[in-house]
């Protein structure tokens, strides 16, 4: 069994997500931090893609919110942690929301389920009426 690295953050940056242009900014910030963390190009691409999906969900379903991105280290490895938070309606049925192809809107229903596959660590904290908080992390090899 491998235990999750105990992370200490070295720098945190926060972005608001209120418009399409903010989603682009989130992608750029996550890319920059992923490069600092020395992730491989494929891991950078996966992480940025996941961040794009989650930031769009924050905007479209959460009614806007914010994203915190930080460079983390456990002493041996460096990584990127990103937290997407909103105070929207929350997700009533999380299992359903995490099903490939399920969407309550007009999407492909791949954002949540797909981004979970693209990152190393993935967790969601949500409840109806209580907003949604998604945390992801990927570590250098």
Ligand X SMILES: Nc1ncnc2c1ncn2[C@@H]1O[C@H](COP(=O)(O)OP(=O)(O)OP(=O)(O)O)[C@@H](O)[C@H]1O
Binding site for ligand X (CB under 6 A): 53, 57-58, 61-62, 86, 88-91, 97, 102-105, 107-113, 132
Q: Which stretch binds Mg ion (CB under 5 A): 24-32, 63-71, 103-111, 129-137?
A: 103-111
Q: In the complex, what is the shortest distance from the CB of residue 4 to ligand X, in angstroms, rounded to a whole number?
A: 24
Helix 20-36 vs helix 41-60: crossing angle, to nearest 10 = 150
Question: CB-wise, 57 or 126, nearer to other proteins?
Answer: 57
139 beta partners = 79
Question: CB-wise, 53 or 66, nearer to other proteins?
Answer: 53
Q: DSSP assignment of 9-66, as one string?
A: EEEEEEEEE-SHHHHHHHHHHHHHHHHHTT--HHHHHHHHHHHHHHHHHHHHTSSSEE
**What span, in angstroms and rounded, lies between the C-alpha atoms of 121 and 125?**
14
Q: Which two tokens stand for residue 54?
A: 């989650």
| CA angle, 6 then 133 then 67, to 5° | 80
What is the x/- site pattern for other proteins, positions 40-79, by CB under 8 A?
A: -xx-xxx-xx--xx--x-----------------------
Asked whether position 100 contacts other proteins by CB under 8 A, the answer is yes
Binding residues vs other proteins (CB under 8 A): 20-21, 23-24, 27-28, 31, 41-42, 44-46, 48-49, 52-53, 56, 100, 107-108, 110-111, 113-115, 117-118
């Amino acid at each position: 069994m491998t235990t999750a690295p105990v992370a200490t953050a070295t720098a945190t940056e926060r972005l608001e997500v209120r418009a399409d242009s903010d989603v682009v900014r989130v992608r750029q910030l996550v890319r920059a931090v992923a490069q600092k963390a020395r992730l491989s190009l494929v891991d950078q691409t996966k992480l940025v893609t996941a961040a794009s999906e989650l930031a769009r969900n924050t905007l479209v379903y959460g009614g806007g919110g914010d994203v915190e991105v930080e460079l983390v280290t456990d002493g041996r490895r460096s990584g990127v942690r990103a937290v997407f938070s909103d105070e929207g309606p929350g997700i009533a049925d999380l299992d359903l929301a995490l099903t490939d192809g399920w969407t309550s809107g007009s999407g492909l229903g791949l954002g949540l389920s797909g981004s979970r596959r693209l990152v190393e660590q993935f967790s969601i904290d949500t409840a109806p009426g209580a907003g949604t908080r998604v945390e992801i992390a990927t570590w250098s090899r």
